[in-house]
Amino acid sequence: MGAGKILVLIGALLTLVSTFFLTFGATLFPGVFASGLGFVFNIPNILSEAAGYATLMGEEVMIVYILTIVYLVFIISGILQLVGLASRVVAIIGSILPIAVGILIILIYSGILDMIQYTVLFWRTPIVDGILPFDLPVGVVSLGTYTLLAGGILGFVGGILGTKDY
């Protein structure tokens, strides 16, 4: 197995673990965290109560639907990275969104960007308190944000190196 393929594999696994098992950070409310798993569980509510989410965000309903689509693509980016083991282009495409979301979360939670309302679709109480999703605060965000960013970077570098076995 080539170095690029190994990096894409490690990046995909990091992205999947970060998205589904770790939190990105605490929210404005105690006991509520932002996580990819929270978004997955919120999808039925988002689609049925889009107007309520739009009001909470201070935006139009169409923005809620657009963000939902973008976040759905983000949720499957770890899978795209795994598919990228066969195609370097898919590995690169699957790595761009985790990098972008990781950087945005860091900028939002550190207060550089005033856009925390756009993370409301990720907010949810833990499924199993203290275990799933796991929250380990590291600075202004949680461990999941950093591992998400690392997974995206590893997948991107692996995609650039190429996934062919020589």
* Helices within 22-142 (DSSP H only): 36-48, 50-57, 61-75, 77-83, 88-109
How far apart (Å, rounded) are the C-alpha atoms in residues 67 and 160? 28
Average pLDDT of the residues in 16-35: 92
The confidence band for 138, taking pLDDT boundaries of 50, 70 and 90, is: very high
Q: What is the pTM of this model?
A: 0.92
pLDDT tens, residue by residue, 2-13: 888 999 999 999
Using alpha carbons only, what angle is made at residue 150 by residues 149 and 152, rounded to the nearest 5 degrees?
65
Mean residue pLDDT across the chain: 93
Using alpha carbons only, what angle is made at residue 105 by residues 59 and 19, rounded to the nearest 5 degrees?
105
Q: What is the pLDDT of residue 2?
A: 85
Q: What is the pLDDT of residue 166?
A: 62
pLDDT tens, residue by residue, 42-74: 999 999 999 999 999 999 999 999 999 999 999
Q: What is the pLDDT of residue 162?
A: 85
Taking the domains of the chain in order of start, what are their residue ranges? 3-161
3-state secondary structure of 79: helix
Q: Is the pLDDT of residue 106 over 70?
A: yes
Q: What is the pLDDT of residue 26?
A: 85
Average pLDDT of the residues in 87-100: 94
Given a contact cutoff of 8 angstroms between Cβ atoms, the answer to whether 78 and 124 are in contact is no
Backbone angles phi, psi at 121, to 5 degrees: -70, -20
